[in-house]
C-alpha cells in the first residue's frame, strides 16, 4: 500500500490502462501541455506523446462527438471535462449518441468511452460552476455513473470504467484532488455497481457517495461520541445502484439517512427512498430522511455555501430525528 493523492490515483489508473492498451487515449481542455487543469494528467504527454494525449479547443460538443465516433470505431477515449457543468454543452453527444448507440444500432456498435471530470460545489465558483448532475446522467439508460470518494476507490473504479464496453460517466470533485489515501500496490480493479460499507454500525444506516462521504463519516464519528452506532455506506456507483447492500443494512438498523449534495427534487436520495418503501417497508422504524443541498442555485458567498450544502450539523440532526422523533 502507498499513500497517494486523489489526482495521483486517477493518473495511475489512466497511465496503466494506456500502457496496457494502445487504443486508450486522453482528450480534453488543457490535458496535455498544461498537464491538466487540476494536474491529473501531469506527465502523460511526455510519456505518450501528442498522438494519445490531446489538447482540445473550448468546444465540449465537438470533442465529445469526436470521442464517440472514435469509440464506435474501436478506440477507447477518455474525455475530460474541466467541470461537469461544461458537459451541458456536450450533453446531446452523451445522451443521444453515446448512451443510445448500442440499442439504436441493434448491437452493431458499442461505445467504450469514459467522460470524466469534477462535479458539484468547489468553493466560490458561482452557481454556473457548482451544479450536481449525477442524477441527470443516472436517469439515462445506456450510461453507467461512478462517483468515488477516495483515492483507492477512484483508481480501481476508473480502471474498470476504461475497460468497460459501455459509456461511463466518472465524476470527481475539485476539492478532493489533493486528498490523500492508501492505494494498493500492483494491478487491481473494483467492480462497477458494488457499494462499500465504510463503517459498520447497528443503530442507523447513513448512505452517501462522492465528497459527501466526508460529511457522512464525520457525522458518524460525532454520533459515536453520543453512543449512537452508524453504519455508513458509500454507494460509489449511482447507476447501477447497489440496492441489495443498502436494503441489507436497513434490515439490520431499521433507520436510514441519505446524504446527497444535489438538490432534493428527483435525486439519487429520492430513488433510494422510494426503493426502501417499496421493497423494505416493514423493516423501517422511522421515515427515511434525506439531507440535500437547499433547492436554490448555489451562492458565491462562502457563508451561504456553508448552509446551503449538506454539512455535519444537518446530518447529525437527521440521524437524531430518525432515532428519537419517529
Number of CB atoms found within 10 A of residue 33's CB: 9
d(CA 244, CA 231): 15
Residue 209 CB partners (closer than 8 Å, separation 6+): 134, 147, 149, 234, 235, 236, 238, 260, 268
- By annotation, the residues acting in catalysis are 60, 129
- Classify residue 77 as left (phi > 0), alpha (psi -120 to 50) or beta: beta
Number of CB atoms found within 10 A of residue 116's CB: 26
Q: How far is CA 99 from CA 94, 260, 291, in A?
A: 6, 24, 30
β 53-55/24-28 pair status: parallel
- Classify residue 277 as left (phi > 0), alpha (psi -120 to 50) or beta: alpha
Amino acid at each position: 500500500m502507498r499513500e497517494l493523492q486523489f489526482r495521483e490515483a486517477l493518473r495511475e489508473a489512466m497511465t496503466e490502462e494506456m500502457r496496457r492498451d494502445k487504443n486508450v487515449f486522453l482528450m480534453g481542455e488543457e490535458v496535455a501541455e498544461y498537464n491538466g487543469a487540476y494536474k491529473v494528467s501531469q506527465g502523460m504527454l511526455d510519456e505518450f506523446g501528442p498522438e494519445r494525449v490531446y489538447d482540445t479547443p473550448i468546444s465540449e460538443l465537438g470533442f465529445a462527438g469526436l470521442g464517440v465516433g472514435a469509440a464506435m470505431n474501436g478506440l477507447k477515449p477518455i474525455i475530460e471535462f474541466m467541470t461537469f457543468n461544461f458537459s451541458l454543452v456536450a450533453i446531446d453527444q452523451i445522451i443521444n449518441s453515446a448512451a443510445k448507440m448500442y440499442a439504436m444500432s441493434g448491437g452493431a456498435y458499442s461505445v467504450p468511452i469514459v467522460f470524466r471530470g469534477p462535479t458539484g460545489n468547489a468553493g466560490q465558483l458561482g452557481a454556473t460552476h457548482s451544479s450536481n448532475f449525477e442524477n441527470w446522467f443516472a436517469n439515462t439508460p445506456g450510461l453507467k455513473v461512478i462517483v468515488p470518494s477516495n483515492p483507492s476507490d477512484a483508481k480501481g473504479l476508473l480502471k474498470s470504467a476504461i475497460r468497460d464496453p459501455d459509456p461511463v460517466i466518472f465524476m470527481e470533485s475539485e476539492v478532493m484532488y489533493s486528498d490523500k489515501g492508501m492505494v494498493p500496490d500492483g494491478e487491481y480493479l473494483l467492480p462497477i455497481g458494488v457499494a462499500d460499507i465504510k463503517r459498520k454500525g447497528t443503530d442507523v444506516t447513513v448512505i452517501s457517495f462522492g465528497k459527501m462521504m466526508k460529511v457522512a463519516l464525520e457525522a458518524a464519528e460525532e454520533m459515536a461520541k453520543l453512543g449512537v452506532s452508524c453504519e455508513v455506506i458509500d454507494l460509489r456507483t449511482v447507476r447501477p445502484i447497489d440496492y441489495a447492500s443498502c436494503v441489507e443494512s436497513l434490515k439490520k438498523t431499521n433507520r436510514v439517512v441519505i446524504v446527497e449534495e444535489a438538490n432534493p427534487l428527483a435525486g439519487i436520495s429520492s430513488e433510494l427512498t422510494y426503493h426502501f418503501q417499496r421493497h423494505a417497508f416493514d423493516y423501517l422504524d422511522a421515515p427515511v430522511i434525506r439531507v440535500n443541498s437547499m433547492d436554490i442555485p448555489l451562492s458565491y458567498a462562502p457563508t451561504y455555501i456553508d448552509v446551503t450544502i449538506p454539512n455535519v450539523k444537518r446530518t447529525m440532526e437527521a440521524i437524531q430525528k430518525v432515532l428519537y422523533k419517529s
